[in-house]
Amino acid sequence: MTRLRMAVLATAVGSPLLLNAGIATAQDSATNAELLQLLKQQAELIKKLEQRLATLESQQADEPATAQAVAPLPATAAPADASSQQASAKAQEVQAAITDSQQGLLEAQIAQLSAAGVGAGNGGGGGSGNLRWRGAPVFRSADGYFTFKPRGRLSLDWSGTEGSRFDERNIYGTEATDLRLGAEGSIGALGYKLDVTFSDDLAGVREAYLSYDSTLFGLPTEYYLGNRLRDRSIEGSGMLAREPFMERNAVAAVGAAYNGYFGLGGYMRVFGSRWHLGASITGDGVDNEGTASDSITYSIRGHVNPIKARQGFVHLGSWYYYETLGDDVESINNTPRIGQSFNDNLRVSSGAIADPQRDEAWGYEVGGVFRNFWTFGEYTKRRIDSESLDVIERTASSVSAGWLITGEKPGFSTRSGIWGSTKVLSPVTSGGWGAWEIAVRFDRYDFRDAPRGGDGRSDTIGINWYINDWSRLMLNYVNWTTDNRVGSYQGPDTGNSIGFRAQVVF
């Protein structure tokens, strides 16, 4: 009976392999779906044969004479009523026809299907290897060499302010804070990304770059050419749409270079198991008018995780940039918002600095994550060298903390040291509760080193409801104080702002 089992199984496996070898010669015309279907048919056939053989063995153990009554096997296997010698001869004949190259071909096809993700879940849906869903469709060639993913972002806000002694600051309104379309993809190790934003009835380019993934001294390394966010501070380096509050913190706003968060130039990032180091040399953004030389910014940022365990980690980071200003820069006067983005009247005045020659800033980062809790603190000092005012310093600090009530892990990347996406355990779109988060932040602005610079503070409480991995609703309450010494809203002033945002990112 053992010989019969071996004969039948060899025939069952051998026949499809011979058929598969023939199909392999037409590999260029076969699709992954067809190969997968063939493998499934083989598995079903072997399963049926195993079941029938088990029945046959059981019957022969009880009543050897009833073995003839077993239903006949498929045509690819020896009949159940054939003699053991005939079955063994058939098995040997088939096994001789199965060469090592044919077995290797089947193994290669299985490996190719596995690498392409055929039939496997990936958190965003299945696919045939040519199409996956990760918030948006991800198209890829059969060998994975080419990929393409459309990108988009939609942020709709409502906000209002009360309590200011200036009526012009007590306003309400709605706005589309971020309307963005773009695409990203890869051609082998070469990547690309393009994001176009639509704001105030104008279109503008945000990120537009080519990237290349390689190694440096055995470490994963990324190179970029184009326009992208500089690696500077926690909240200044990542997407606002991934951060826990509706607006970036004081450190990101005050420590920004003259030519802003973005710059057109070259970037490099090197990654270790517990650290990363990024550097860039950039000029003005892609919207430079081209009437004068660019302001050139040399920047560097790094972080390390001295403690990195399953339940959390500790984050330590620092950054620095030095900026040579173009001839068209006659003064520097950044006035960051302190409430919500809709209210342009609610700002902290820094005081204009005329005849700037150079600009530099540095900052420090500390914080960490433990289970579903997180906390981070940042500080920055910016020095602007002026021919008429010597050196002027601007400082800012920010401390924040949060708790994901529903148990999710905070979406902070230990690889890059910035905020990423939060993986929702029970999405609303799948019948769950979504993810709920409470967050608080304390920001301080100090521009008083300038002759007419002001200062301000803001304390924010936020509630975030993550509907799924790509969409969320946000509610922010901000209690703020300003003491401006220039502009339309001078003197001490305090009030409260509230903002609501509906957001989808893919």
pLDDT tens for each residue of 91-139: 455 444 444 445 554 555 555 544 444 443 333 444 455 888 877 899 9
Sign of CA dihedral 252, 257, 263, 265: negative
**pLDDT(33) > 90:** no
What does pLDDT average to over the chain?
83
User: Is 367 in contact with 375 (CB distance < 8 Å)?
Assistant: yes
Q: Token pair 């924010």 is at which residue? A: 460
Q: Which CATH superfamily is domain 131-505 in?
A: Porin (2.40.160.10)
pLDDT tens for each residue of 248-300: 999 999 999 998 999 999 999 999 999 999 999 999 988 777 788 999 999 99
pLDDT tens for each residue of 316-375: 999 999 999 998 899 999 899 999 999 999 999 999 999 998 999 999 999 999 999 999
Mean pLDDT, rounded, for 368-383: 98
Name the token pair of 373: 């809790």
Name the token pair of 73: 């096997």
CA-wise closest residue to 394 among 418, 428, 359:
359
For the chain, the domains span: 2-115, 131-505
User: Is 197 in contact with 154 (CB distance < 8 Å)?
Assistant: no
Residue type for position 275? W
Give pLDDT, residue 342: 93
Coil, helix or strand at residue 239: coil
Give pLDDT, residue 502: 98
Q: Token pair 């953004």 is at which residue? A: 285
Strands 356-370 and 418-419: unpaired
Q: Token pair 């001295």 is at which residue? A: 306
